Structure 1
Amino acid sequence: MGIYVIVILFMGLSMWVSWRLKSKFKKYSEIPLQSGYTGREIAEMMLADNGIHDVKVISVAGRLTDHYNPADKTVNLSEYVYEARSAAAAAVAAHECGHAVQHARAYSFLKFRSAMVPALSIASRYMQWIILIGIFMLQTTPVPLAIGVALFGLTTIFSFVTLPVEFDASKRALAWISSNNIVTQQELAMSKDALKWAAMTYVVAALGSLATLLYYVSLLMGRRD
Protein backbone atom coordinates (compact mmCIF):
# COMPACT_ATOMS: atom_id res chain seq x y z
CA MET A 1 0.00 0.00 0.00
CA GLY A 2 3.05 2.27 0.42
CA ILE A 3 3.32 3.19 -3.25
CA TYR A 4 -0.38 4.16 -3.37
CA VAL A 5 0.11 6.56 -0.47
CA ILE A 6 3.17 8.10 -2.13
CA VAL A 7 1.29 8.70 -5.39
CA ILE A 8 -1.61 10.35 -3.53
CA LEU A 9 0.82 12.49 -1.51
CA PHE A 10 2.50 13.74 -4.68
CA MET A 11 -0.87 14.59 -6.20
CA GLY A 12 -1.67 16.69 -3.14
CA LEU A 13 1.80 18.25 -3.11
CA SER A 14 1.49 19.17 -6.78
CA MET A 15 -1.79 20.98 -6.14
CA TRP A 16 -0.30 22.85 -3.18
CA VAL A 17 2.83 23.93 -5.11
CA SER A 18 0.65 25.10 -8.01
CA TRP A 19 -1.44 27.16 -5.60
CA ARG A 20 1.70 28.66 -4.03
CA LEU A 21 3.09 29.59 -7.44
CA LYS A 22 -0.12 31.36 -8.45
CA SER A 23 -0.25 33.10 -5.08
CA LYS A 24 3.37 34.30 -5.33
CA PHE A 25 2.93 35.42 -8.92
CA LYS A 26 -0.19 37.41 -8.00
CA LYS A 27 1.59 39.03 -5.06
CA TYR A 28 4.70 40.04 -7.01
CA SER A 29 2.63 41.14 -10.01
CA GLU A 30 1.03 43.85 -7.89
CA ILE A 31 4.35 45.48 -6.94
CA PRO A 32 5.52 48.02 -9.56
CA LEU A 33 9.03 47.62 -10.95
CA GLN A 34 11.11 50.71 -10.13
CA SER A 35 12.92 50.59 -13.48
CA GLY A 36 9.53 50.81 -15.22
CA TYR A 37 10.37 48.22 -17.88
CA THR A 38 7.65 45.94 -19.24
CA GLY A 39 8.10 42.21 -19.65
CA ARG A 40 8.36 42.70 -23.40
CA GLU A 41 11.06 45.36 -23.07
CA ILE A 42 13.05 43.23 -20.64
CA ALA A 43 12.86 40.23 -22.97
CA GLU A 44 13.95 42.26 -25.99
CA MET A 45 16.85 43.80 -24.06
CA MET A 46 18.08 40.46 -22.76
CA LEU A 47 17.96 38.89 -26.22
CA ALA A 48 19.84 41.81 -27.77
CA ASP A 49 22.39 41.83 -24.95
CA ASN A 50 23.14 38.18 -25.70
CA GLY A 51 23.52 38.82 -29.42
CA ILE A 52 20.23 37.12 -30.32
CA HIS A 53 18.44 38.98 -33.11
CA ASP A 54 16.40 36.23 -34.77
CA VAL A 55 13.99 35.59 -31.88
CA LYS A 56 10.67 37.44 -31.66
CA VAL A 57 8.89 38.38 -28.44
CA ILE A 58 5.13 37.92 -28.78
CA SER A 59 2.07 37.99 -26.53
CA VAL A 60 -0.10 34.92 -25.95
CA ALA A 61 -3.42 34.53 -24.17
CA GLY A 62 -3.77 33.06 -20.69
CA ARG A 63 -2.01 33.20 -17.35
CA LEU A 64 1.31 31.44 -16.70
CA THR A 65 1.33 30.36 -20.37
CA ASP A 66 4.79 31.84 -20.94
CA HIS A 67 7.23 29.70 -22.91
CA TYR A 68 10.03 29.71 -25.45
CA ASN A 69 9.37 27.91 -28.74
CA PRO A 70 12.63 26.77 -30.36
CA ALA A 71 10.79 25.64 -33.51
CA ASP A 72 9.79 29.15 -34.61
CA LYS A 73 12.19 31.03 -32.32
CA THR A 74 9.64 32.98 -30.34
CA VAL A 75 9.54 34.05 -26.71
CA ASN A 76 5.85 33.78 -25.86
CA LEU A 77 4.83 35.97 -22.94
CA SER A 78 1.36 35.77 -21.40
CA GLU A 79 -0.77 38.88 -21.49
CA TYR A 80 -0.11 39.28 -17.76
CA VAL A 81 3.65 39.50 -18.37
CA TYR A 82 3.99 41.10 -21.82
CA GLU A 83 2.96 44.62 -20.79
CA ALA A 84 3.35 44.26 -17.02
CA ARG A 85 5.93 46.25 -15.05
CA SER A 86 6.56 44.07 -11.99
CA ALA A 87 9.15 41.81 -10.38
CA ALA A 88 7.12 38.78 -11.43
CA ALA A 89 7.00 39.94 -15.06
CA ALA A 90 10.74 40.65 -15.04
CA ALA A 91 11.51 37.19 -13.68
CA VAL A 92 9.28 35.33 -16.14
CA ALA A 93 10.33 37.34 -19.20
CA ALA A 94 14.02 36.91 -18.41
CA HIS A 95 13.54 33.20 -17.64
CA GLU A 96 11.97 32.50 -21.03
CA CYS A 97 14.78 34.43 -22.68
CA GLY A 98 17.14 32.21 -20.70
CA HIS A 99 15.82 29.33 -22.80
CA ALA A 100 16.47 31.32 -25.97
CA VAL A 101 20.05 31.86 -24.80
CA GLN A 102 20.37 28.13 -24.11
CA HIS A 103 19.18 27.42 -27.64
CA ALA A 104 21.64 29.90 -29.13
CA ARG A 105 24.51 28.48 -27.06
CA ALA A 106 23.54 24.84 -27.81
CA TYR A 107 23.07 24.02 -24.12
CA SER A 108 23.51 20.24 -23.85
CA PHE A 109 20.49 19.42 -21.67
CA LEU A 110 18.19 21.50 -23.90
CA LYS A 111 19.52 19.68 -26.99
CA PHE A 112 18.94 16.32 -25.29
CA ARG A 113 15.41 17.28 -24.24
CA SER A 114 14.58 18.55 -27.73
CA ALA A 115 15.86 15.30 -29.23
CA MET A 116 13.47 13.38 -26.97
CA VAL A 117 10.36 15.31 -28.07
CA PRO A 118 9.48 13.27 -31.22
CA ALA A 119 9.65 9.96 -29.35
CA LEU A 120 7.85 11.45 -26.37
CA SER A 121 4.97 12.73 -28.50
CA ILE A 122 4.40 9.21 -29.84
CA ALA A 123 4.76 7.65 -26.39
CA SER A 124 2.31 10.05 -24.73
CA ARG A 125 -0.28 9.40 -27.46
CA TYR A 126 -0.53 5.66 -26.83
CA MET A 127 1.02 5.14 -23.40
CA GLN A 128 -2.07 5.32 -21.18
CA TRP A 129 -4.06 3.00 -23.46
CA ILE A 130 -1.22 0.46 -23.53
CA ILE A 131 -0.87 0.61 -19.73
CA LEU A 132 -4.64 0.18 -19.27
CA ILE A 133 -4.68 -2.82 -21.62
CA GLY A 134 -1.60 -4.17 -19.89
CA ILE A 135 -3.27 -4.03 -16.47
CA PHE A 136 -6.34 -5.89 -17.74
CA MET A 137 -4.17 -8.53 -19.46
CA LEU A 138 -1.62 -8.81 -16.68
CA GLN A 139 -2.74 -12.24 -15.54
CA THR A 140 -2.48 -13.49 -19.12
CA THR A 141 0.70 -11.82 -20.34
CA PRO A 142 2.99 -9.10 -18.94
CA VAL A 143 4.09 -7.84 -22.38
CA PRO A 144 1.61 -4.94 -22.90
CA LEU A 145 2.22 -3.57 -19.40
CA ALA A 146 5.97 -3.93 -19.83
CA ILE A 147 5.75 -1.86 -23.02
CA GLY A 148 3.59 0.70 -21.24
CA VAL A 149 6.07 0.91 -18.36
CA ALA A 150 8.92 1.45 -20.82
CA LEU A 151 7.01 4.30 -22.49
CA PHE A 152 6.16 5.84 -19.13
CA GLY A 153 9.82 5.52 -18.19
CA LEU A 154 10.63 7.70 -21.19
CA THR A 155 8.30 10.43 -19.95
CA THR A 156 9.88 10.20 -16.50
CA ILE A 157 13.36 10.63 -17.95
CA PHE A 158 12.08 13.65 -19.86
CA SER A 159 10.74 15.14 -16.61
CA PHE A 160 14.14 14.84 -14.96
CA VAL A 161 16.05 16.15 -17.99
CA THR A 162 13.76 19.20 -17.84
CA LEU A 163 15.02 20.11 -14.35
CA PRO A 164 18.54 21.31 -15.25
CA VAL A 165 17.07 23.13 -18.26
CA GLU A 166 14.70 25.10 -16.03
CA PHE A 167 17.23 25.73 -13.27
CA ASP A 168 19.82 26.98 -15.75
CA ALA A 169 17.33 29.31 -17.46
CA SER A 170 16.44 30.83 -14.08
CA LYS A 171 20.12 31.21 -13.18
CA ARG A 172 20.80 33.05 -16.44
CA ALA A 173 17.71 35.22 -15.95
CA LEU A 174 18.50 36.29 -12.40
CA ALA A 175 22.14 37.01 -13.22
CA TRP A 176 21.16 39.20 -16.16
CA ILE A 177 18.40 41.25 -14.51
CA SER A 178 20.68 41.81 -11.53
CA SER A 179 23.84 42.82 -13.44
CA ASN A 180 21.89 45.10 -15.79
CA ASN A 181 20.04 46.95 -13.02
CA ILE A 182 16.64 45.81 -14.25
CA VAL A 183 15.60 45.18 -10.65
CA THR A 184 16.54 46.50 -7.22
CA GLN A 185 17.88 44.12 -4.58
CA GLN A 186 14.43 43.86 -3.04
CA GLU A 187 12.87 43.15 -6.45
CA LEU A 188 15.60 40.61 -7.17
CA ALA A 189 14.60 38.71 -4.03
CA MET A 190 10.99 38.68 -5.26
CA SER A 191 12.09 37.45 -8.70
CA LYS A 192 14.15 34.66 -7.11
CA ASP A 193 11.20 33.60 -4.99
CA ALA A 194 8.83 33.57 -7.97
CA LEU A 195 11.20 31.47 -10.06
CA LYS A 196 11.87 29.15 -7.11
CA TRP A 197 8.20 28.23 -6.92
CA ALA A 198 8.00 27.88 -10.69
CA ALA A 199 10.93 25.44 -10.50
CA MET A 200 9.20 23.54 -7.70
CA THR A 201 6.35 22.64 -10.06
CA TYR A 202 8.86 20.84 -12.28
CA VAL A 203 10.53 19.12 -9.32
CA VAL A 204 7.21 17.83 -7.98
CA ALA A 205 6.13 16.76 -11.48
CA ALA A 206 9.36 14.78 -11.95
CA LEU A 207 9.14 13.10 -8.55
CA GLY A 208 5.43 12.40 -9.07
CA SER A 209 6.22 10.81 -12.43
CA LEU A 210 8.87 8.65 -10.76
CA ALA A 211 6.42 7.58 -8.04
CA THR A 212 3.82 6.64 -10.67
CA LEU A 213 6.44 4.73 -12.64
CA LEU A 214 7.38 2.77 -9.52
CA TYR A 215 3.70 1.99 -9.00
CA TYR A 216 3.41 0.50 -12.49
CA VAL A 217 6.67 -1.39 -12.00
CA SER A 218 5.30 -2.83 -8.74
CA LEU A 219 2.23 -4.09 -10.63
CA LEU A 220 4.46 -5.69 -13.22
CA MET A 221 6.78 -7.27 -10.66
CA GLY A 222 3.86 -8.38 -8.50
CA ARG A 223 2.77 -10.74 -11.26
CA ARG A 224 5.79 -12.88 -10.46
CA ASP A 225 4.59 -13.55 -6.91
Structure 2
Amino acid sequence: MYYNASPIYFLVIAAMIVSWLIQWRLRSKMTTYGQIGLQSGLSGRQIAELMLADHGITDVRVISTEGRLTDHYNPTDKTVNLSEVVYEERSAAAAAIAAHECGHAVQHATAYSMLQFRSAMVPALSSVSTFMPWILLAGVVMIRTSLIPLGVGIALFSLTTLFSFVTLPVEFDASRRALAWIDRRGIVTAKEHAMAKDALWWAAMTYVVAAISSLATLLYYVSLFMGSRDRR
Protein backbone atom coordinates (compact mmCIF):
# COMPACT_ATOMS: atom_id res chain seq x y z
CA MET A 1 0.00 0.00 0.00
CA TYR A 2 1.32 3.45 -0.95
CA TYR A 3 0.89 6.22 1.62
CA ASN A 4 0.25 9.68 0.18
CA ALA A 5 1.46 12.41 2.52
CA SER A 6 -0.07 15.29 0.54
CA PRO A 7 -3.49 15.43 2.30
CA ILE A 8 -1.82 15.43 5.72
CA TYR A 9 0.64 18.09 4.54
CA PHE A 10 -2.27 20.37 3.64
CA LEU A 11 -3.85 19.59 7.03
CA VAL A 12 -0.67 20.82 8.72
CA ILE A 13 -0.79 24.05 6.69
CA ALA A 14 -4.48 24.51 7.50
CA ALA A 15 -3.79 24.01 11.22
CA MET A 16 -1.06 26.66 11.08
CA ILE A 17 -3.43 29.15 9.43
CA VAL A 18 -6.22 28.43 11.94
CA SER A 19 -3.73 28.79 14.78
CA TRP A 20 -2.72 32.23 13.52
CA LEU A 21 -6.36 33.29 13.20
CA ILE A 22 -7.20 32.14 16.73
CA GLN A 23 -4.15 33.92 18.14
CA TRP A 24 -5.26 37.08 16.36
CA ARG A 25 -8.81 36.66 17.67
CA LEU A 26 -7.55 36.07 21.22
CA ARG A 27 -5.45 39.25 21.15
CA SER A 28 -8.43 41.16 19.80
CA LYS A 29 -10.69 39.85 22.57
CA MET A 30 -8.13 40.63 25.26
CA THR A 31 -7.72 44.16 23.93
CA THR A 32 -11.49 44.73 23.86
CA TYR A 33 -12.18 43.25 27.29
CA GLY A 34 -9.10 44.94 28.71
CA GLN A 35 -10.65 48.33 28.00
CA ILE A 36 -13.77 47.61 30.03
CA GLY A 37 -13.28 48.48 33.69
CA LEU A 38 -14.12 45.90 36.34
CA GLN A 39 -16.97 47.01 38.59
CA SER A 40 -15.25 45.54 41.67
CA GLY A 41 -12.20 47.71 40.92
CA LEU A 42 -9.74 44.90 41.70
CA SER A 43 -6.48 44.54 39.76
CA GLY A 44 -5.18 41.28 38.37
CA ARG A 45 -2.66 41.08 41.20
CA GLN A 46 -5.31 41.62 43.87
CA ILE A 47 -7.60 39.02 42.31
CA ALA A 48 -4.78 36.47 42.16
CA GLU A 49 -3.77 37.07 45.76
CA LEU A 50 -7.39 36.84 46.90
CA MET A 51 -8.00 33.56 45.07
CA LEU A 52 -4.85 32.02 46.52
CA ALA A 53 -5.85 33.13 50.02
CA ASP A 54 -9.38 31.75 49.61
CA HIS A 55 -7.89 28.35 48.78
CA GLY A 56 -5.50 28.44 51.73
CA ILE A 57 -2.43 28.72 49.52
CA THR A 58 0.24 30.74 51.32
CA ASP A 59 3.46 29.59 49.65
CA VAL A 60 2.77 30.96 46.14
CA ARG A 61 3.89 34.46 45.11
CA VAL A 62 2.17 36.66 42.54
CA ILE A 63 4.74 38.50 40.43
CA SER A 64 4.81 40.65 37.29
CA THR A 65 6.52 39.42 34.12
CA GLU A 66 7.40 41.24 30.90
CA GLY A 67 5.55 40.76 27.65
CA ARG A 68 1.99 40.31 26.42
CA LEU A 69 0.06 37.05 26.97
CA THR A 70 3.08 35.74 28.90
CA ASP A 71 0.99 34.84 31.95
CA HIS A 72 1.75 31.43 33.48
CA TYR A 73 2.06 29.47 36.69
CA ASN A 74 5.49 28.06 37.53
CA PRO A 75 5.18 24.99 39.78
CA THR A 76 8.96 24.84 40.28
CA ASP A 77 9.30 28.10 42.21
CA LYS A 78 5.57 28.40 43.00
CA THR A 79 4.92 31.73 41.33
CA VAL A 80 1.90 33.07 39.49
CA ASN A 81 3.47 35.17 36.74
CA LEU A 82 1.17 37.85 35.37
CA SER A 83 2.09 40.01 32.39
CA GLU A 84 2.57 43.66 33.26
CA VAL A 85 -0.81 44.67 31.83
CA VAL A 86 -2.75 41.94 33.63
CA TYR A 87 -0.87 42.56 36.88
CA GLU A 88 -2.03 46.19 37.05
CA GLU A 89 -5.20 46.14 34.96
CA ARG A 90 -8.70 46.20 36.46
CA SER A 91 -10.78 44.54 33.76
CA ALA A 92 -12.70 41.38 32.90
CA ALA A 93 -9.74 40.17 30.82
CA ALA A 94 -7.32 40.66 33.71
CA ALA A 95 -9.71 38.93 36.11
CA ALA A 96 -10.04 35.93 33.79
CA ILE A 97 -6.31 35.52 33.22
CA ALA A 98 -5.28 36.08 36.84
CA ALA A 99 -7.88 33.61 38.13
CA HIS A 100 -6.97 31.07 35.44
CA GLU A 101 -3.29 31.07 36.39
CA CYS A 102 -4.26 30.73 40.05
CA GLY A 103 -6.40 27.79 38.94
CA HIS A 104 -3.13 26.05 38.08
CA ALA A 105 -1.79 26.88 41.54
CA VAL A 106 -4.90 25.29 43.04
CA GLN A 107 -4.36 22.23 40.84
CA HIS A 108 -0.81 22.01 42.15
CA ALA A 109 -1.90 22.39 45.77
CA THR A 110 -4.58 19.71 45.41
CA ALA A 111 -2.34 17.31 43.45
CA TYR A 112 -4.52 17.36 40.34
CA SER A 113 -3.52 14.18 38.50
CA MET A 114 -3.31 15.58 34.96
CA LEU A 115 -1.11 18.48 36.09
CA GLN A 116 1.17 16.00 37.87
CA PHE A 117 1.34 13.89 34.72
CA ARG A 118 2.18 16.90 32.58
CA SER A 119 4.80 18.15 35.04
CA ALA A 120 6.42 14.71 35.06
CA MET A 121 6.80 14.91 31.28
CA VAL A 122 8.56 18.29 31.30
CA PRO A 123 12.13 17.14 32.13
CA ALA A 124 12.11 14.55 29.33
CA LEU A 125 10.63 16.98 26.82
CA SER A 126 13.12 19.68 27.76
CA SER A 127 16.04 17.45 26.83
CA VAL A 128 14.33 15.99 23.77
CA SER A 129 13.27 19.34 22.26
CA THR A 130 16.88 20.46 21.72
CA PHE A 131 17.86 17.71 19.31
CA MET A 132 14.54 16.30 18.04
CA PRO A 133 14.22 18.75 15.09
CA TRP A 134 17.71 17.77 13.91
CA ILE A 135 16.88 14.06 14.12
CA LEU A 136 13.71 14.61 12.10
CA LEU A 137 15.65 16.65 9.54
CA ALA A 138 18.28 13.92 9.29
CA GLY A 139 15.49 11.36 8.95
CA VAL A 140 13.96 13.20 6.00
CA VAL A 141 17.35 13.73 4.32
CA MET A 142 18.36 10.08 4.82
CA ILE A 143 14.96 8.59 4.05
CA ARG A 144 16.21 6.84 0.90
CA THR A 145 19.11 5.17 2.69
CA SER A 146 17.84 4.48 6.20
CA LEU A 147 14.53 4.79 8.04
CA ILE A 148 16.07 4.59 11.51
CA PRO A 149 16.65 8.35 12.07
CA LEU A 150 13.11 9.18 10.95
CA GLY A 151 11.70 6.41 13.13
CA VAL A 152 13.57 7.75 16.15
CA GLY A 153 12.41 11.28 15.34
CA ILE A 154 8.79 10.11 15.11
CA ALA A 155 9.05 8.37 18.48
CA LEU A 156 10.40 11.56 20.08
CA PHE A 157 7.86 13.81 18.37
CA SER A 158 5.05 11.58 19.62
CA LEU A 159 6.01 12.65 23.15
CA THR A 160 5.46 16.31 22.29
CA THR A 161 2.11 15.42 20.73
CA LEU A 162 1.09 13.52 23.84
CA PHE A 163 2.13 16.51 25.95
CA SER A 164 -0.08 18.79 23.83
CA PHE A 165 -3.11 16.60 24.46
CA VAL A 166 -2.36 16.15 28.17
CA THR A 167 -2.27 19.94 28.41
CA LEU A 168 -5.89 20.27 27.26
CA PRO A 169 -7.68 18.94 30.38
CA VAL A 170 -5.23 20.89 32.56
CA GLU A 171 -6.12 24.17 30.84
CA PHE A 172 -9.86 23.53 30.70
CA ASP A 173 -9.92 22.56 34.37
CA ALA A 174 -8.00 25.71 35.38
CA SER A 175 -10.53 27.85 33.49
CA ARG A 176 -13.43 26.01 35.11
CA ARG A 177 -11.98 26.65 38.56
CA ALA A 178 -11.32 30.29 37.70
CA LEU A 179 -14.81 31.05 36.41
CA ALA A 180 -16.49 29.27 39.32
CA TRP A 181 -14.42 31.21 41.86
CA ILE A 182 -14.78 34.71 40.37
CA ASP A 183 -18.52 34.13 40.13
CA ARG A 184 -18.87 32.72 43.65
CA ARG A 185 -16.68 35.45 45.17
CA GLY A 186 -18.57 38.23 43.41
CA ILE A 187 -15.45 39.46 41.60
CA VAL A 188 -17.44 39.99 38.40
CA THR A 189 -20.96 40.94 37.37
CA ALA A 190 -22.98 38.68 35.08
CA LYS A 191 -21.86 40.71 32.05
CA GLU A 192 -18.21 40.65 33.14
CA HIS A 193 -18.46 36.89 33.77
CA ALA A 194 -19.60 36.40 30.18
CA MET A 195 -16.61 38.39 28.93
CA ALA A 196 -14.19 36.46 31.15
CA LYS A 197 -15.64 33.16 29.96
CA ASP A 198 -15.34 34.21 26.32
CA ALA A 199 -11.72 35.30 26.79
CA LEU A 200 -10.78 32.00 28.43
CA TRP A 201 -12.58 30.05 25.70
CA TRP A 202 -10.46 31.68 22.99
CA ALA A 203 -7.34 31.09 25.06
CA ALA A 204 -8.28 27.41 25.37
CA MET A 205 -8.75 27.17 21.61
CA THR A 206 -5.08 28.04 21.09
CA TYR A 207 -4.18 24.87 22.99
CA VAL A 208 -6.72 22.80 21.06
CA VAL A 209 -5.36 23.94 17.70
CA ALA A 210 -1.77 23.40 18.91
CA ALA A 211 -2.63 19.81 19.83
CA ILE A 212 -4.33 19.17 16.49
CA SER A 213 -1.42 20.77 14.63
CA SER A 214 1.05 18.59 16.52
CA LEU A 215 -0.97 15.47 15.71
CA ALA A 216 -1.20 16.44 12.02
CA THR A 217 2.57 16.99 11.89
CA LEU A 218 3.17 13.62 13.56
CA LEU A 219 0.89 11.91 11.04
CA TYR A 220 2.76 13.63 8.21
CA TYR A 221 6.08 12.17 9.36
CA VAL A 222 4.46 8.78 9.87
CA SER A 223 3.07 8.90 6.32
CA LEU A 224 6.57 9.67 4.99
CA PHE A 225 7.96 6.75 6.95
CA MET A 226 5.26 4.31 5.79
CA GLY A 227 5.43 5.48 2.17
CA SER A 228 9.20 5.10 2.02
CA ARG A 229 9.01 1.66 3.67
CA ASP A 230 6.45 0.42 1.16
CA ARG A 231 8.58 1.54 -1.78
CA ARG A 232 11.50 -0.57 -0.64
Question: Into which bin does the TM-score normalised by the smaller protein fall?
Answer: over 0.9
* Residue in structure 2 matched with residue 26 of structure 1 by the alignment: 31
Residue in structure 2 matched with residue 99 of structure 1 by the alignment: 104
Which residue matches 1:46?
51
TM norm structure 2: 0.96
Q: TM-score of the superposition, structure 1-length normalised?
A: 0.99
Out of 29, 34, 42, the position equivalent to 1:37 is 42
- The sequence identity of aligned pairs, in percent, is 70
Structure 1's consecutive aligned runs of 4 or more residues displaced over 2 angstroms after TM superposition are none
Aligned Cα root-mean-square deviation (Å): 0.5
Q: Which has the higher contact order (CA 8 A, sep 6+)?
A: 2
| Offset of residue 223 of structure 1 | 1.1
Distance in 2 (CA, whole Å) between partners of 1:60 and 1:98 is 18
Instruction: Quote the Cα distance in structure 2 between the aligned partners of 1:84 and 1:157.
Output: 35
Corresponding residue SS for 2:82: strand
Alignment correspondent of 1:130: 135
CA distance in 2, matches of 1:79, 1:121: 27
Instruction: Output one character per residue of 1:66-121: Cα deviation in whole Å (capped at 9) or x when no partner.
Output: 00000000000000100100000000000000000000000000000000001101
Which runs of no fewer than 5 residues in structure 1 stay unpaired? none
Distance 1:99 1:68 in 2: 6
- Corresponding residue for 2:3? none
Task: Letter of the 1:73 partner, please give it.
Answer: K
Q: Corresponding residue for 1:65?
A: 70
Q: Displacement, 1:15? A: 0.3
Q: Which residue of 2 aligns with 1:167?
A: 172
1 CA distance for matches of 2:79 and 2:37? 26
Which residue is equivalent to 1:141? 146
1:77 alignment partner, SS class: strand
1:222 maps to which of 205, 227, 230: 227
Give the letter for the 2:95 counterpart.
Answer: A
Candidates 9, 12, 16, aligned match of 1:4: 9
Structure 2 counterpart of 1:172, which letter? Answer: R
Paired residue secondary structure (1:64) = coil
Do structure 1's residue 176 and structure 2's residue 181 form an aligned pair? Answer: yes
Shift in Å, 1:224: 1.9
SS of 2:62's equivalent?
strand
- The aligned residue for residue 193 of structure 1 is 198
Query: Which ranges in structure 2 are unaligned for 5 or more consecutive residues?
Result: 1-5
Q: Is 1:17 aligned to residue 35 of structure 2? A: no
